């Protein structure tokens, strides 16, 4: 049996690697190929295209990269025609992956959508498109499962995979020693994103905020986990412009989260990871002006941060577009760091988010769905 997996960014690579490991455990002879990164490669997936330079976000940004994306789509489509995988698993990256899924369907290759397009945000049209294209939706949120079922999709609610993945392996004492942190300080996590474009858009303001925080809050340390898709050289180019010491880390990110008191993070999967590790987070996001204006018309929900969406209300601060400034980021971070009442409330709300995400075992349930769908085609 051959399964093809397609992801487009670092967070998808994490999920793809987990699914690959679960598939190999359930079916040791399975052959796995696809588009991914270091995580999927380490999990035994034959990487047809490395995603290190791929991540583009927003309508304007996609238009600028259309030629490259079309070439990549045609390359993967040609592979499917020649090698006929038993199923295609698409993970997130919806603009690209839905186009690839339609090609797979036309070739008679069943598609499983995992970390599916956010139909609760974009509306019924997107849900219907997915329902007409994929064989099965492996839904990670209860409200997502309901939205897809209403659109006519074949849905299996698997729960959220981060419940299996997000956990610390070290004690806090060992982690403090491992990351060479000082025991009695405020530790602040900086997560500007996993795409080059996000780094360029957000890191300068994050570092500007770090300067303000350091000048107003005694005894602070800043940590920045480097995504596998980002080069340290690029980060250093930005870091050297600011008068703040930031420690770059390359592994054990969840152990690092476990010793941090506050995070500043680009909206996305990282904000759910920090939430599950009980780190109050300032959520930030900025895209091209045209992308934002179109999004305001199309997006149907009041919050963009995943923890706030899961909670059903604003439990963590969100700064979007023009509100993403060093001063505002620093202000919200200092409140979560030093205001005891605000901090206690945030931690209590994060417990609620954890409870709403279901039970552990999601990755194994996804693997079973994939094997079921692929096996039905043999």
Based on the fold, state whether residues 256 and 350 are members of the same structural domain.
yes
Same domain, 101 and 176: no
130 in Cβ contact with 113 (< 8 Å):
yes
Same domain membership, residue 189 and residue 324: yes
Domain contains 166: no
What's the whole-number mean pLDDT along residues 49-60?
A: 64
Length of the chain: 378
Residues 212 and 249 in one domain: yes
Mean pLDDT of the 131-153 span: 91
Regarding whether 192 and 233 lie in a shared domain, the answer is yes
> Which letter does DSSP use for residue 374 in this model?
H
Q: Are 36 and 98 members of one domain?
A: yes
pTM: 0.74
Segment 219-264, tens digit of pLDDT: 999 999 998 778 888 888 899 999 999 999 999 999 999 999 999 9
Residue 124 lies in a domain: yes
Identify whether 164 is part of a domain.
no
Please compute the mean of the pLDDT values over residues 330-359 and round it to a whole number. 94
Asked, for residue 129, whether it belongs to a domain, the answer is: yes
Q: Does residue 366 belong to any structural domain of this protein?
A: yes
Burial of 340 (0-12, 13-18, 19+ CB in 10 A): exposed
Q: Is residue 104 part of a domain?
A: yes
The answer to whether residues 125 and 206 belong to one domain is: no
On whether residue 139 sits in a domain, the answer given is: yes
Residue 167 lies in a domain: no
Extended beta strands in the chain, E state: 2-6, 31-36, 46-50, 87-91, 111-114, 136-139, 155-157, 186-191, 220-225, 246-249, 262-266, 281-285, 318-320
Looking at the structure of the chain, the number of domains it has is: 2
Q: What is the sign, positive or negative, of the torsion defined by CA atoms of 275, 20, 256, 93?
A: negative
Give the lowest-confidence range in 45-54, 75-84, 88-97, 361-370: 45-54
pLDDT of residue 62: 53
Q: Residues 289, 194: one domain? A: yes
pLDDT at residue 25 above 70? yes
d(CA 104, CA 122): 24
**265 shares a domain with 230:** yes
CA–CA dist 96, 137 (Å, integer): 17
Same domain, 132 and 196: no
End-to-end Cα separation, the chain, in angstroms: 9
- CATH no. for residue 103? 3.40.50.2000
- Nearest to 369, CA basis, from 136, 148, 149: 136
Q: Are residues 61 and 184 in the same domain?
A: no
Domain that holds residue 304: 172-356
Q: What is the spatial distance between Cα 285 and Cα 53, in angstroms, rounded to a whole number?
A: 20
Instruction: Say yes or no: 7 and 100 in one domain.
Output: yes
């Amino acid at each position: 049996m051959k399964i093809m997996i397609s992801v487009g960014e670092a967070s998808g690579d994490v999920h793809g690697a987990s699914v690959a490991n679960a598939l190999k455990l359930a079916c040791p002879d399975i052959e796995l190929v696809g588009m991914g990164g270091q995580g999927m490669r380490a999990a035994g997936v034959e990487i047809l295209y490395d995603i290190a330079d791929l991540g583009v976000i927003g309508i304007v940004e996609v238009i600028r990269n259309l030629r490259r994306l079309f070439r990549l789509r045609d390359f993967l489509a040609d592979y499917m025609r020649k090698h006929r995988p038993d199923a295609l698993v698409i993970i997130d990256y919806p603009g690209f992956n839905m186009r690839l899924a339609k090609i797979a369907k036309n070739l008679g290759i069943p598609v499983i959508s995992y970390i599916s397009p956010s139909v609760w945000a974009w509306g019924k049209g997107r849900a219907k498109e997915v329902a007409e294209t994929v064989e099965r939706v492996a839904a990670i949120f209860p409200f997502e499962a309901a939205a897809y079922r209403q659109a006519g999709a074949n849905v299996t609610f698997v729960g959220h995979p981060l419940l299996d993945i997000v956990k610390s392996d070290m004690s806090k004492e060992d982690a403090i020693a491992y990351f060479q942190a000082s025991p009695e300080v405020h530790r602040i996590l900086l997560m500007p994103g996993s795409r080059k474009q996000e780094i360029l858009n957000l890191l300068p303001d994050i570092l500007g905020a770090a300067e303000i925080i350091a000048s107003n809050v005694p005894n602070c340390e800043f940590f920045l986990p480097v995504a596998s898709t980002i080069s340290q050289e690029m980060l250093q180019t930005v870091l050297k412009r600011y008068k703040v010491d930031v420690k770059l880390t390359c592994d054990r990110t969840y152990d690092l989260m476990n010793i941090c008191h506050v995070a500043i993070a680009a909206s996305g999967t990282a904000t759910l990871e920090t939430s599950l590790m009980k780190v109050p987070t300032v959520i930030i996001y900025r895209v091209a002006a045209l992308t934002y204006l179109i999004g305001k018309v199309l997006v149907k929900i009041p919050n963009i941060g995943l923890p706030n969406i899961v909670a059903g209300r604003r439990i963590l601060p969100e700064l979007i577009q023009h509100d993403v400034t060093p001063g505002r980021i620093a202000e919200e971070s200092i409140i979560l760091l030093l205001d005891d009442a605000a901090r206690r409330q945030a931690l209590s709300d994060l417990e609620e988010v954890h409870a709403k995400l279901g039970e552990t075992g999601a990755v194994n349930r996804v693997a079973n769905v994939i094997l079921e769908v692929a096996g039905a085609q043999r």
